[in-house]
Amino acid sequence: MRKKFMVALGAVLSVALSATQSFGAVYYVATDGSDSAAGTKDKPFATLNKANTVVHAGDTVWIRGGIYDLHDTVFYERYKMTAGILLTASGESDDNRIHYLAYPGERPIFDATNLPVAAGEEHSDGTPEGAMYTSPIVIAAKYLHLKGFDVRNTPMIHNSNSGIFIYASKHIFLEQIDSHHNAGPGFFAHDGASGGGGHLFLNCDAHDNYDPTDWQGDGENADGFGVHYQYDGDTTKFIGCRAWWNSDDGYDVLAQEFPVVVENSYAMGNGYIHYGTSKPPNGNGNGFKMGYSRNDKGRHIIRNCVAWNNVATGFYSNYTTIGSTWINNTSYKNGDRSFGMPSTIYADDERTRIAEVVPLTGDKAHVLKNNIAFPNKLSQIGTCWEKISSQNIDHYVDCPAGENNSWNLNLDLTEDDFVSLDDPSMTVTGKDLSTIPGMLGPRNADGSLPNVGFLKLKEGSRAIDKGEDLGFPFVGKAPDLGAFEYGLSSSSVAPSSSAGVSSSSGTTSIATRLDSFVNASGLATVFDLQGRYLGTLQLERNALESAFRAKFKTPGAYLVRLGRTFQRVNVN
C-alpha cells in the first residue's frame, strides 16, 4: 500500500515575496538576421556577439530556433583564447540578470563544425593565432541566465576545447542546455579568480564528448561537466543534470578547493566513445569524480545521484585530503568500483604527495549515508591501505565505512528489489541515446528528468525505510536507501500533477496543502515561466494564496523552487 508523507509542517504553508524585478529591453537573434538590424522580432540580430554589445542588466535576448553556423572567432585577451561567441556584458544581481533564452517552442543549435581552431599547443604565445583554446561559447561575466539550446561539434587540433567555457565569472545560470559531440568537455567552469563561482546548472546534459588528439592523450580531458581551481566565492550547484558517453569523466572537480553540490543527477557510460562502442586509451571513465582537494577545503555534497555502467568507478574521491558528503546515491554495475574513496596527504606546497594513500579520519573523513552499491563492490571503504615506501609494503588500517548504507546493512540486493534493471543505456550501443526513451532519453516538456522505473525501488524492497533521517522529505517510517525514495517524486522539476496544485476548468490555483514542501524551511525562490528570477519566498504559517495574489495583482503563472523541488503556481 502506498504510504503517506510524514508532515512536519502540519499547517498550511505560506510565502512572502521580496525583491521583484522590473524587466528591461528585449532583443531577438535569428539565423536569418543581420547585425546591422535593430534587433527587434521583425528585424533580429544575427549573432549573440552583437547582442552582447547592447544588453544591460534586466534585458532579455530571445534566440530563435535553427542551426547557427559558427565560422568566425573573437579573441579573448584575458585568457588568451578564441571564441565563437564571447559574452562579457553582466547583470547586476541574481534578481537583475541578463537573459539569453530560446524562443518558446523553438530550439537553437550552435554548431561549431566550421569554427576556426587556434593552433597553439601546450602554451599560448599571447596572440590569436597562438591561442591554446577555442570554444563556441565563452562566458566572462556576472549574473547571466542561458536557457534552452544545444552546443555541438567543437573541433580541436592539439588541445581539448569545451563546448561552453566559463572563466572568472559569477552566478551564471545555465538551464536546459545540451552540450555534445565536442572535442573536449561539454561544460568547463574555471573559477580561479577571487570571488567567483556560484553557478547553477539546472537540467543540463553533456554527452558524447571526445578529444582524440589532445597533447595529453587520446580521450584525456573530455569530461561532461568540469569545475576547477576555485579557492573562494560561492558554491556551484548541479541539479537534474546528466553526463554520458564522455571519453573522460562524467563530472570532474579536480583541483577544486571550494565546495560543489551535485543533486539529483546522473552519470552513465563515461570512459566510452562512439556511442558506447569503444574506449579511448587515455580516458578515465569515472561517473562522479569529486576531488581532489589539496588544502582540506573542497568538501563537496553529492546527493540523490545515480552512476551506472561507467568504465571505472561510479562515485570517486580521487586522492583528496578532505572527505565529501555522499547521501542517498545509487551505484550500479560500474566497471571498477561502486564507491572509491581513496585519500592522501600533501606537503605545504600543495603539490608534493608525501604519502601514497592514507585514511581520512575525524572531521576530515567522508560522510557516506543511505547509499546503495549494487553489487557491493567497494574500494577504500571500511579498510584503507597506506604505502610504506621504506619497506615497500602496504599497511592496512581501519577507516570509516559510513552508516546505513547497503554494505553496512549487509543487504544482498537483487533484481527483485527494483522496479527495473532494464534501460536502453545498459544494452543499446552505436546509437544516440538522447533520442531513445529511457533514463537518458528526451526530457519532459518542463526540462525535468524522464520518469522511468530503472533502479527505482519497488514495493517490498529491502532498501525501503533502511536509511537515516537527514532532514530531507521521505515517505514512511524512515528514508529509503539510494537515489529514489519510494512513493516520492524524484524529478528535478516536479510536474504540477505531483506538486500540490489542483486544476479546475483549465485553470490552476494554489493548493492549501503543499505536500511537495514537506519538512521545508528557509528561503524558496520564484521564477517566471522563462526562468527569470522574481524574488524569494520565506515559508510561514499564513495564507499562501492570498500572499501571492497580494504581490502579483495581474493573474499569471510562476515557478516556486525549494531545494530540489519546483512547483508551478497559477494566480487566477
Average pLDDT over every residue of 130-154:
95
Q: Across all residues in the chain, what is the average pLDDT?
A: 85
Average pLDDT over every residue of 484-495:
67
CB 336 within 8 A of CB 311: yes
Q: What is the DSSP string of 411-459?
A: ----GGGBSB---HHHH--SS-GGGSSSTTSPPPTTSPPP---BT-B-T
Q: What per-residue confidence (pLDDT) applies to 562?
A: 58
Instruction: Convert the pLDDT of each residue in 77-99 to its tens digit.
Output: 998 899 999 999 999 998 899 99
In this predicted model, which residue has the larger pLDDT, 542 or 281? Answer: 281
Q: What per-residue confidence (pLDDT) applies to 5?
A: 27
Cβ burial 26-49 (10 Å sphere, 16+ → b, else e): ebbbbeebeeeeebeeeebbbbbb
CB 244 within 8 A of CB 286: no
Q: Could you count the other beta carbons within 10 Å of the beta carbon of residue 6?
A: 14
Say yes or no to pLDDT of 40 above 50. yes
| Distance separating the N- and C-terminal Cα atoms of the chain | 36
Say yes or no to pLDDT of 522 above 50. no
The continuous run of DSSP H or E covering 236 comes out as strand 236-239
Q: Which of 49-58, 274-283, 556-565 is least confident? A: 556-565
Q: Could you count the other beta carbons within 10 Å of the beta carbon of residue 350?
A: 12
Instruction: Convert the pLDDT of each residue in 7-29 to its tens digit.
Output: 222 222 333 333 334 468 999 99
Q: Which of 55-69, 106-120, 150-164, 491-505 is least confident? A: 491-505
Band of pLDDT at residue 504, cut at 50, 70 and 90: very low
Q: Where are the beta strands (DSSP E) in 90-190?
A: 98-102, 108-111, 134-139, 142-147, 150-152, 164-167, 170-175, 178-180, 187-190
Instruction: Convert the pLDDT of each residue in 408-418 to its tens digit.
Output: 999 999 999 99
- If you ran DSSP here, which 8-state letter would residue 46 be given? S
Rounded distance, CA 291 to CA 298, Å? 7
Say yes or no to pLDDT of 494 above 70. no
Strand order in the sheet with 523-527: 17-18, 533-538, 523-527, 556-562, 565-571
Say yes or no to pLDDT of 541 above 50. no
Which residue type sits at 418?
A: F
Instruction: Convert the pLDDT of each residue in 441-455 to its tens digit.
Output: 999 988 999 999 999
Please report where in the chains the cell 533502511 appears, as a residue: 466
Instruction: Convert the pLDDT of each residue in 171-218 to its tens digit.
Output: 999 999 999 999 999 999 998 888 899 999 999 999 999 999 998 999
In this predicted model, which residue has the larger pLDDT, 551 or 300? Answer: 300
CB 352 within 8 A of CB 344: no
CB 324 within 8 A of CB 340: no
Q: Which of 107-121, 234-248, 273-287 is least confident? A: 107-121
CB 482 within 8 A of CB 370: yes
Rounded distance, CA 55 to CA 41, Å? 15
Q: Could you count the other beta carbons within 10 Å of the beta carbon of residue 206?
A: 33
Alpha carbon separation from 162 to 155, 208, 309, 385 (Å, rounded): 9, 12, 24, 37
Q: What per-residue confidence (pLDDT) applies to 128?
A: 80
Rounded distance, CA 512 to CA 509, Å? 9
Q: What per-residue confidence (pLDDT) applies to 118?
A: 76
- Residue % of the chain over a pLDDT of 70: 81
Say yes or no to pLDDT of 268 above 50. yes
Band of pLDDT at residue 519, cut at 50, 70 and 90: very low
Instruction: Convert the pLDDT of each residue in 416-440 to its tens digit.
Output: 999 999 999 999 999 999 999 999 9
Q: What per-residue confidence (pLDDT) applies to 429?
A: 97
Q: What per-residue confidence (pLDDT) applies to 422?
A: 97
In the structure grid, which three cell numbers stand for residue 26, read together? 528585449
CA angle in degrees (0–180, nearest 5) for 167-173-179? 75
Please report where in the chains the cell 547553477 appears, as a residue: 200
Instruction: Convert the pLDDT of each residue in 374-391 to its tens digit.
Output: 998 998 899 888 777 677
Say yes or no to pLDDT of 339 above 50. yes
Residues 6+ apart with CB under 8 A from 413: 372, 374, 375, 406, 461, 462, 463
CB 403 within 8 A of CB 444: no
In the structure grid, which three cell numbers stand for residue 340, read together? 572509491
Side-chain half-sphere exposure of 1, counting CA atoms within 13 A: 3
Q: Which of 111-125, 168-182, 312-326, 518-532 is least confident? A: 518-532
Domain ranges in the chain are: 497-571
Q: What per-residue confidence (pLDDT) applies to 490?
A: 59
Say yes or no to pLDDT of 533 above 90. no
Average pLDDT over every residue of 492-497:
37
- If you ran DSSP here, which 8-state letter would residue 132 be given? S
Alpha carbon separation from 99 to 70, 118, 149, 414 (Å, rounded): 21, 29, 13, 47
- Secondary-structure percent of the chain, ordered helix, strand, coil, rounded to 5: 5, 35, 60
